[in-house]
């Protein structure tokens, strides 16, 4: 049985600053990122939809020790954002000095852009990362 939405298509949409998700015909639940089965009820009977890419910051951290191959990126801010329609996604926050990131960020509204992580020798190619910025 084919999955309704694959990583590849989700990833391509992110490049257009769009977030694709799945809406369950059985329970109405929204699943982001793609899965075979609804995250709420387990049904595979879902339709591909576009979900709104704006949301608010649930939590964050500023990373000072990076993984091999990504040392030059530090310091950078990772955020988990709750999208308006409920799903949480992980991305980066731009437009602030990473060293000043504080808990005041929690609850702040953000909008989404994107940046391609080109991948490394382990990652089977590129992945797009959501790149958020604060909405004034």
Q: Is 28 helix (H, G, I), strand (E, B) or coil?
A: coil
Phi, psi of 12 (to 5 degrees): -65, -40
* Cβ distance to other proteins smaller for residue 13 or 128: 128
Name residues contacting other proteins, limited to 50-79 (CB under 8 A). Answer: 58-71, 73, 76, 78
Contact of 22 with 9, CB cutoff 8 Å:
no
Name residues contacting other proteins, limited to 87-126 (CB under 8 A). Answer: 87-92, 101, 103, 106, 117, 120, 122-124
Question: Tokens standing for 61?
Answer: 């951290």
Contact of 130 with 93, CB cutoff 8 Å:
no
What residue ranges bind other proteins (CB under 8 A)? 7, 11, 33, 35, 39, 58-71, 73, 76, 78, 80, 82, 87-92, 101, 103, 106, 117, 120, 122-124, 127-130
């Amino acid at each position: 049985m084919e999955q309704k939405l694959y990583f590849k298509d989700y990833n391509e949409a992110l490049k257009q600053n769009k977030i694709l998700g799945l809406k369950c015909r059985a329970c109405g639940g929204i699943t982001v990122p793609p899965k075979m089965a609804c995250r709420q009820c387990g049904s595979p009977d879902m339709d591909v939809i576009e979900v709104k890419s704006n949301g608010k910051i649930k939590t964050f951290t500023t990373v000072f020790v990076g993984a091999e191959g990504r040392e030059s990126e530090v310091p950078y801010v990772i955020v988990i954002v709750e999208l308006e329609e409920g799903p949480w996604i992980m991305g980066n926050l731009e437009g602030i000095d990473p060293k000043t990131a504080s808990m005041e960020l929690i609850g702040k509204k953000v909008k989404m852009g994107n940046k391609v992580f080109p991948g490394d020798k382990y990652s089977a190619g590129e992945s797009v990362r959501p790149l958020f910025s604060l909405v004034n």
